[in-house]
A and B are shown apart, each in its own frame.
Chain A
């Protein structure tokens, strides 16, 4: 076996996996707090890709050509606007249905997903869009013929993703907001009885999920350069798979699940077959659900009194 190919696939897998992990956070946190799968989350990620392109175009229009500066501004703008999307979606489509059957918000989520896709398709056109390359260059290790390379963008993806996950972990573990989120997740009614505005916490969770998806959207767009209104679907389903793999409802689980899924998928396409990588990912999901239904780090559902 060629070790440099293995190492290269691991590098690629880590990059892909951190993206899955970032998006999976949105699925897992929302599931943890209100027990619904937010099927519109993938499309929120798609919206953030368009916002990235718009932000970059605007910045270029202003004549800003310093790549680090442009990336920071784009990240901030995209996270903010995508956060507003996340907040509005919860407010419009899920909150009015709270207290109705479990299925109602799920259907509403699918509706929102369709609305977002069609709205973007109408307003931005159906053709794939692109952004100019802001960062180019690679780091190479090895000889002329046997080498492992990592582009600057890949390094950026891994660094920014891990930083975002670390920051979020800190917020959830050690801040007052994080304690309120965990309390609301464990027993929403009890949290309210203690004076926590649980509706506000739920909104915050949607904003956090959307902001994380926005980071992923910016990074992926900078990496691939091209996107269309349908990218949210497959990526969303993959990130959802990652969340289930790690144990849905568990924050470290989503990150771990994302990275593992990225690694497996990348190794599979490197050593077995590229065309069947999605089949492999979903087969993995089926196996996890059969042998460990609560995921790697998830806890089995406990009946609440």
Chain B
């Protein structure tokens, strides 16, 4: 792996029976960058996310994540580990995500949604809990403190004890990002974070994503259809069409790439550049 990369995807292929959703997808995500994955509907962007985050086991190819410890881990091999393998190891390795169709624990309170994401750090010992040991109370307090920190960042403090399912849509989106951050990730994957948000909320979101990177030192990979958002905040853009990478580069390169313009069928160049939705 290149030392500057946090994530290296090589030859990623995902087949569902006869349907090839991703074919030989390769790209890098630089450490500390904001990288966007764009493409027309059905291009296979979410499938890439599902493979990265261990939601699916890729049919072929490798996904390497650099770790603080040194040797990079391969996401697929985490899933395949005998007896103990599973998606949860991917989260523990440092990849967190949000979903296009929000997947909160709707029947848990807002703060519980954040606590449950931190259990890797919280003491899991029931006996320690029953006895109320000092370490147990300390870790619970730390967990709560972290949860409330993120509620504050997201402006959700007042909603802490409401059920997650009761929140308005925009707040659910922010809560989902907060929950992903509570797992303590190195890479956070946001799947269409601006979907359904109004222009003001979208603007706040782009500020938030910048903050995540600058203040919380997390690398961001996002799927987004809102071109003004993507062009405004990302340093590197990967374009998928029909499951394959058709272009990659900085916003300038992508904006002027004929392959990209052609992929957005019927989309004028102005729309790719502009703020009006290509959605």
Residues of chain A whose beta carbon lies under 8 Å from any beta carbon of chain B = 167, 171, 174-177, 179-180, 182-183, 186-187, 189-199, 305
A195, B117: Cβ atoms under 8 Å? Answer: yes
Query: CB-CB < 8 A to A175: which residues of B?
Result: 126, 129
Q: How far is the CA of A134 from the CA of B8 in the complex (A)?
A: 67
B116, A183: Cβ atoms under 8 Å? Answer: yes
Closest to B94 in A: A195
B91, A177: Cβ atoms under 8 Å? Answer: no
Q: How far is the CA of A180 from the CA of B119 in the complex (A)?
A: 8
Q: How far is the CA of A191 from the CA of B116 in the complex (A)?
A: 8
Q: Which of B54, B101, B117 has the most CB of A within 10 A?
A: B117
11 more A-B residue pairs beyond the given contacts A194-B179, A305-B101, with a C-beta to C-beta distance below 8 A: A174-B129, A176-B115, A176-B124, A179-B108, A182-B108, A189-B55, A192-B87, A192-B88, A195-B120, A197-B86, A198-B86
Check B264 for interface membership: any CB of A closer than 8 A: no
Query: CB-CB < 8 A to B124: which residues of A?
Result: 176-177, 180
B64-94: which residues lie under 8 A (CB-CB) from chain A? Answer: 84, 86-88, 90-92
Mind listing 20 A-B residue pairs with CB under 8 Å?
A171-B126, A174-B129, A176-B140, A183-B105, A183-B108, A183-B116, A187-B105, A189-B87, A190-B103, A191-B88, A192-B86, A192-B88, A192-B91, A193-B53, A193-B91, A194-B116, A194-B117, A196-B88, A197-B86, A305-B101
Number of chain B interface residues as a range:
35 or more
The 6 closest A-B pairs by CB, nearest first: A195-B91, A192-B87, A179-B116, A183-B116, A176-B122, A194-B117
| Shortest beta-carbon distance from A301 to chain B in Å | 14
Q: How far is the CA of A103 from the CA of B155 in the complex (A)?
A: 46
Query: CB-CB < 8 A to A171: which residues of B?
Result: 126, 129
| Shortest beta-carbon distance from B196 to chain A in Å | 15
B126, A177: Cβ atoms under 8 Å? Answer: yes
Check B219 for interface membership: any CB of A closer than 8 A: no
Query: CB-CB < 8 A to A196: which residues of B?
Result: 88, 116, 119
Query: CB-CB < 8 A to B91: which residues of A?
Result: 192-195
Query: CB-CB < 8 A to B112: which residues of A?
Result: 179, 182
Closest to B164 in A: A186
Query: CB-CB < 8 A to B106: which residues of A?
Result: 186
Q: Which of A174, A182, A192 has the most CB of B within 10 A?
A: A192
Known: A176-B122, A176-B123, A187-B103. A193 touches B54 (CB 8 A): yes
A193, B105: Cβ atoms under 8 Å? Answer: no
Query: CB-CB < 8 A to B33: which residues of A?
Result: none
Closest to A171 in B: B126
Q: How far is the CA of A190 from the CA of B122 in the complex (A)?
A: 19
Query: CB-CB < 8 A to B143: which residues of A?
Result: 176
Check B174 for interface membership: any CB of A closer than 8 A: no
B183, A195: Cβ atoms under 8 Å? Answer: yes
Query: CB-CB < 8 A to B117: which residues of A?
Result: 194-195
| Shortest beta-carbon distance from A124 to chain B in Å | 32
| Shortest beta-carbon distance from A86 to chain B in Å | 16
| Shortest beta-carbon distance from B183 to chain A in Å | 5
Q: How far is the CA of A197 from the CA of B140 in the complex (A)?
A: 19
Closest to A208 in B: B126
B119, A193: Cβ atoms under 8 Å? Answer: no
Known: A176-B129, A186-B105, A305-B101. A194 touches B96 (CB 8 A): yes
A190, B86: Cβ atoms under 8 Å? Answer: no
Residue interface bits B130-165, CB-to-A below 8 A is 1, else 0: 100000000010010000000000000000000000
Q: How far is the CA of A195 from the CA of B121 in the complex (A)?
A: 11
Query: CB-CB < 8 A to B92: which residues of A?
Result: 195
Q: How far is the CA of A305 from the CA of B108 in the complex (A)?
A: 18
| Shortest beta-carbon distance from A182 to chain B in Å | 6
Known: A186-B105, A187-B103, A305-B101. A198 touches B88 (CB 8 A): yes
B87, A193: Cβ atoms under 8 Å? Answer: yes
Query: CB-CB < 8 A to A194: which residues of B?
Result: 88, 91, 96, 116-117, 179, 183
Q: How far is the CA of A272 from the CA of B101 in the complex (A)?
A: 55
| Shortest beta-carbon distance from A148 to chain B in Å | 35
Query: CB-CB < 8 A to A198: which residues of B?
Result: 86, 88
| Shortest beta-carbon distance from B253 to chain A in Å | 32
Query: CB-CB < 8 A to B103: which residues of A?
Result: 187, 190
| Shortest beta-carbon distance from B185 to chain A in Å | 9
Check B45 for interface membership: any CB of A closer than 8 A: no
Check B97 for interface membership: any CB of A closer than 8 A: yes
Q: How far is the CA of A96 from the CA of B274 in the complex (A)?
A: 52
B116, A180: Cβ atoms under 8 Å? Answer: yes
Query: CB-CB < 8 A to A197: which residues of B?
Result: 84, 86, 88
Check B201 for interface membership: any CB of A closer than 8 A: no
Q: How far is the CA of A177 from the CA of B126 in the complex (A)?
A: 7
Closest to B182 in A: A194
Query: CB-CB < 8 A to B130: which residues of A?
Result: 167
B55, A193: Cβ atoms under 8 Å? Answer: yes
B156-208: which residues lie under 8 A (CB-CB) from chain A? Answer: 179, 183
Q: Which single member of A186, A189, A199, A305 contacts B107 (CB below 8 Å)?
A: A186
Q: Which of B101, B103, B119, B124 has the most CB of A within 10 A?
A: B119
Q: How far is the CA of A192 from the CA of B84 in the complex (A)?
A: 12
B119, A195: Cβ atoms under 8 Å? Answer: yes
Q: Which single member of B88, B123, B126, B140 contacts A195 (CB below 8 Å)?
A: B88
